[in-house]
Amino acid sequence: MINFEYHVPTKIYFGPDEFSHLGKEVASYGKRVLLTYGGGSIKKTGLYKKVLEQLAQFDLQVTELSDIDPNPRIESVREGGELCKKHNIDVVLAVGGGSVIDCSKFICAAACSDIDPWEWFTPTRPKVTKALPLLTVLTLAATGSEMDAGAVITNLATNEKIGRAFPQLLPKVSFLDPTNTFTVSPFQTAAGSADIISHTLEAYFSQDKDLFFLDTFMEGLLRTVIKFAPRAMNKGDDYEARANLMWASTWAINGFVNGGKTQAWSVHPIEHEVSAYYDITHGLGLAILTPHWMRHVLAKDQEHTLPKFVQFAEQVFGITSQELSDLDKALAGIDALQTFFVNDLQLAPSLSKLAIDTTHFDAMAKHAAGQAGVIHGFIDLYPEDIREIYQASL
Ligand code: NZQ
Ligand code: ZN
């Protein structure tokens, strides 16, 4: 029987006309604002100026933290936490993609705590109990960080990239204006789209009893990304394509599709190791690994995985030919996904294309399996399984 609680109180403003509410919303949380952003894309696009104009209308005092890296570093979290304490910050406003928003979530926590922020990512797992309010202006459709409680932080010194989620980190308000994603490059659009697909698949492929309603919702999400990602890559200012990708990215990971599911995610922990060692773009890593994870779990436990792979092939890629066996259909569905990633999204087909070799595979596989030594995902994955998936992805 399916049981779950669902409560995501993030307020969403969607569309260009809603941006005018930004100043008022930020001001409702306090006077002193930490504005966080990345390597400068928001200055090039003019968004930075528009944000400052909104904040000026309410005489807000603005402190800035810029240069938050993709795969955001623990050092930026520390720096942001210190700035908040020094300037008595009331509210954090993150303007950017998932990296800026993730980093800002733990800045909000660091502002209210005396522990070193990396402690939250160590095996002792202290809880975040308090955080400053966070508002976001999203500029890239991918991670869903704008409406989820999670954040992934990288420690390059220890080759670790670790995600944690706490309800205190959920953004209070997020501004989703598809026009702010018009300037996202074709590559980042593709990688972000692969990320949305992966978030959906992590929930879709499950041994839990599924709700038919949620399965059809996820199949719709997948078809939406498959339809609109190539369009957004070809024509950056295609509003319909950008809007569909943006709202799909939010709903793929805001908890809705997980209703009642108990299994852990599989491909994400496997990918986070690749990003941690090689600092690659998250969505690109997922696109390379996902088809190989699929083939591995199908081969390892056909009895429990085949029906869902057949459903995936039929409902997402329309592979319904009566002449195909179930196994052939399942494999054709996996091939179709890989072809979409490589041909339509123009993403690299293998780890070796990113100059990655086998050097760290053993350590990565062991770490991906976590302290328990196993990922309890669609099927259980042990370090030897994960190593085989890396090897197949080379
Ligand atoms: O830094 P700037 O100059 O802003 O440039 C960024 C960055 O170089 C650029 N960009 C963003 N918006 C743009 C733009 N360029 C032009 N026009 C715009 N409108 O894109 C580059 C990548 O940005 P980033 O924020 O790193 O991308 P993304 O949104 O894909 O975030 C990836 C991070 O989120 C984590 C990933 O692991 C990775 O660290 N994730 C977070 C999750 C969550 N919070 O729930 C879940 C995900 O699975 C994921 O793990
Ligand atoms: Zn992801």
Q: What is the pLDDT of residues 292-342, one digit of tens each?
A: 999 999 999 999 999 999 999 999 999 999 999 999 999 999 999 999 999
Q: What is the pLDDT of residues 53-82, one digit of tens each?
A: 999 999 999 999 999 999 999 999 999 999
- The secondary element (H helix, E strand) that includes residue 73 is none
Quote the CA–CA distance of 43 and 210 in Å, as a whole number. Answer: 45
What separation in Å is there between the alpha carbon of 89 and the centre of ligand 1?
A: 24
**Residue 133's pLDDT is what?**
98
Q: Say yes or no: domain 11-180 is CATH 3.40.50.1460.
A: no
CA distances from 332 to 154, 229, 281, 340 (A): 36, 21, 27, 12
Ligand located closest to 142 CA? 1
The pTM score is 0.98
- C-beta of 143 in contact with ligand 1 (< 6 A): yes
Q: Which CATH superfamily is domain 186-392 in?
A: Dehydroquinate synthase-like - alpha domain (1.20.1090.10)
- Rounded to the nearest 5 percent, the helix, strand and coil shares of the chain are 55, 10, 35
Domain residue spans of the chain: 11-180, 186-392
CA distances from 394 to 245, 285, 335, 348 (A): 29, 11, 17, 11
Q: What is the pLDDT of residues 100-157, one digit of tens each?
A: 999 999 999 999 999 999 999 999 999 999 999 999 999 999 999 999 999 999 999 9
Ligand located closest to 282 CA? 1
What separation in Å is there between the alpha carbon of 287 and the centre of ligand 1?
A: 16
Q: What is the pLDDT of residues 185-230, one digit of tens each?
A: 999 999 999 999 999 999 999 988 778 999 999 999 999 999 999 9
Confidence of residue 261 (pLDDT cuts 50, 70, 90): confident
- C-beta of 153 in contact with ligand 1 (< 6 A): no
Beta strands in the chain (DSSP E): 11-14, 32-36, 61-65, 91-96, 134-138, 150-155, 160-165, 173-176, 375-376, 380-381
* Ligand 1 pocket: which of 65, 71, 99 to mutate (most atoms within 8 A of CB): 99
